[in-house]
């Protein structure tokens, strides 16, 4: 409840109460092969106009996995990701972008990039 109160107290609020609108969120954290760490939140919102489903994630991969100092890493890649299907407003979107902290070989060798795909459709 403290987290929810903090989210409604900001200006503008992250979460605002809306009549006849309900939402559910679940999070998870996953580690694969000690190299990849994914933290994600899945959200489902039910409202009069339609359904909204979203997945927001942050994935981090580093080589070698046991090293904590960036100067000893060969690669560090962090990717932010969002995927949303909004039936109320009529769109599907997928966006991903590399974080500015991503690098190859040395921390000064930054890698950049991103992608976006949006498909709009008619809502009856």
Q: What is the pLDDT of residues 18-55, one digit of tens each?
A: 777 788 888 999 999 889 999 999 999 888 878 899 99
Where in the sequence is the domain holding 64, given as residue range(s)?
20-120
Question: Mind listing the pLDDT tens digit for each residue in 62-114?
Answer: 998 888 888 888 999 999 999 999 998 899 999 999 999 999 988 889 999 99
The single residue listed with the structure tokens 């919102």 is: 45
Contacts of 77 (CB under 8 A, 6+ apart): 60, 61, 62, 98, 102, 111
The C-alpha atoms of residue 46 and residue 53 are separated, in whole angstroms, by 9
Within a domain: 62: yes
Confidence (pLDDT) at 58: 94
Number of folded domains that form the chain: 1
* Structural domain includes residue 1: no
Please determine, for residue 6, whether its predicted confidence score (pLDDT) is greater than 90.
no
**Range of weakest confidence among 8-17, 52-61, 99-108, 112-121:** 8-17
Q: Which two tokens stand for residue 15?
A: 């979460």
For residue 8, what pLDDT is reported? Answer: 76
Task: Assess if residue 93 is contained within a domain.
Answer: yes
Residue 15 located in a structural domain: no
Across the range 5-18, mean pLDDT stands at: 74
Q: Is residue 25 part of a domain?
A: yes
Task: Indicate whether 10 belongs to any domain.
Answer: no
Asked if residue 6 belongs to a domain, the reply is no
Do the domain assignments include residue 11?
no
CA distances from 105 to 40, 67, 109 (A): 27, 13, 7
55: nearest Cα among 95, 7, 21, 16: 95
């Amino acid at each position: 409840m403290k987290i929810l109160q903090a989210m409604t107290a900001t200006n503008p609020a992250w979460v605002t109460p809306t009549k006849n609108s309900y939402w559910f969120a679940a999070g998870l954290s996953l580690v694969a092969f000690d190299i990849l760490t994914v933290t994600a939140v899945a959200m489902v919102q039910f409202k009069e106009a339609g359904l909204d489903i979203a997945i927001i994630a942050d994935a981090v991969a580093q080589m070698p996995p046991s090293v904590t100092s960036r100067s000893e890493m060969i690669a560090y890649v962090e990717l932010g990701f969002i995927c949303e299907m909004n039936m109320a407003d009529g769109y599907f979107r997928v966006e991903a972008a590399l974080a500015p902290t991503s690098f190859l070989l040395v921390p000064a060798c930054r890698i950049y990039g991103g992608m976006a795909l949006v498909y709009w459709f008619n809502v009856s």
